[in-house]
Amino acid sequence: MLKPKSGRPHIILITTDQQRGDCLGINGNNDLETPNLDHLASRGVNFNKAYITCPVCIPARRTLLSGLSPDTHGLRHYQDGVDFDPPATLPGCLRDAGYQTELIGKFHMHPQGKRFGFDNITLSETSNWRPKSPYQKRNDYVRWLQHKGVTQHPHYQGINGNGRLVAPWGMEDSLNWNNWVIEETTELLTQRRDPTCPLFLHLSFFHPHPPFIPLQHYFDRYLRKDLPDATIGEWAPLAPAQGLSADAVAGPFDVEVMRRAKAAYYALINHIDDCIAHILEQWMGIPELAQDPAYILFSSDHGEMLGDHHLFRKSLGYEASARVPFFISGINTEINSGRTNELVCWEDVAPTLLDLAGLEIPECMDGKSLANHVRGETSIKTRDHIFGQCFSAHSNLWIVTDRWKYIWFPKTNEEQLFNLQIDPNETKDLSATAHEISEMRILMAENLSTREDVSYVVESLTPCGNKPPKVFWGDRK
């Protein structure tokens, strides 16, 4: 393998926010256009079963940064304003090894501005500027707009930042948040990069997270398509819902509203795909970077229910919410390309990238290196299941194996069971009929054996039995 002057490969970590695992063309989505990411994934290792163990923004991003599980880093739900002081971080380890460490985009750590091992962070959590927020006052994107003479608030559309409603981006295309990322990255590569050391660059896009405000031409592209309706399981309710808030978690939702939401969601992903292509073109236009080896890891912090089973947003253990795209590719590197069904999670990102950089993995990290897949070495199965959780109004804990998905709702003591091998879309709940639920209960009990905040008593469990979970819909049928 070629080596840069520094002796270590460059590393590019690209993350999106709220992108489902099935939302890449190469992952079987025939309606979504992601040719650039598809090409990268085809030349690398594509992990089909990648999960977020607490599928909401801040806990997931703590895990990405530190390699720690939610149980270890202490945040099992969404909460702003909580200090974080991990024993080691991915950028900190790389910085100590001589890397220039840079982040551009969303970070969502507290206190805002703390670098956690990055030499520099160019920061914008969202286009929705909140100058009076105690947690998100800083927004470098807005400062960039102001330097261009734009005084209008970029979130003037009023579209909810967690909702299903849609409006096209109304300002000039060149003023879009994604284009800010392109401009800042180009400036880094051409003006601020230290040519004497390797670069660790985290490109952190905040879309396709709502607000759903795509550029008009991308939105039109998907409005013209005959997009399939959301997947509705046999266990979801039939009765229509009225008077729902714009950011409601549980429907049923208006079919036309959800069609527009899916079109906007796909449009935002398509735009990011084009932005990534532009940034990599800039990278390849710099001779020394074009000749150096670099690893690229792409993933997302959680998915989006997008109306599946009449549910919306994230935080749930269902595939649409907890499973994410995850692949490792590269430039001037020898990668044993292909697909794998090994169970992986965001705890694995930091150990993997440190391993690929030739560095020791701190013992404190909970994740496992996946570098053996990249190098084509004999694969050793790292885990037989993944345990996930998120505490909220609809608190849920879940186990996923090669075949089964088990979900427990502690507030109602309900449980669901899905056979992912024959029912990957989780349309039939087998909790009342499959004897395998006993094995999944054992795994759940083992993961909760030292916990005092929840009480998991098998004798008190209520299988949903292919009926709507009361945690979402009460006694509705």
CA distance linking residue 135 with residue 112, whole number of Å: 7
Q: Which residue's entry shows tokens 């102001």?
A: 146
- Which residues make Cβ contacts (< 8 Å) with residue 245, sequence separation at least 6? 163
Q: What are phi and psi of 17, to 5 degrees?
A: -120, 120
**Which one is catalytic: 57, 93, 197, 275?**
57
- State yes or no: is 197 an active-site residue: no
Contact (CB, 8 A) for 379 and 373 = yes
* SS3 labels along 74-95: CCCCCCCCCCCCCCCCHHHHHH
**Which one is catalytic: 73, 108, 302, 309?**
108
CA distance linking residue 356 with residue 10, whole number of Å: 10
3-state helix, strand, coil in the chain (%, to 5): 30, 20, 50
Residue 39, CB half-sphere, CA atoms under 13 Å: how many?
9
- Closest Cα partner for 269 from 318, 227, 316, 315? 227
- The amino acid at 272: I
CA distance linking residue 400 with residue 386, whole number of Å: 5
DSSP-assigned letters across all residues of 344-401: EEGGGHHHHHHHHTT-PPPTT--S---HHHHHTPPP----S-EEEEE-STT-EEEEE-
CA distance linking residue 121 with residue 458, whole number of Å: 47
- State yes or no: is 275 an active-site residue: no
Sign of CA dihedral 5, 6, 7, 13: negative
The catalytic site residues sit at 57, 108
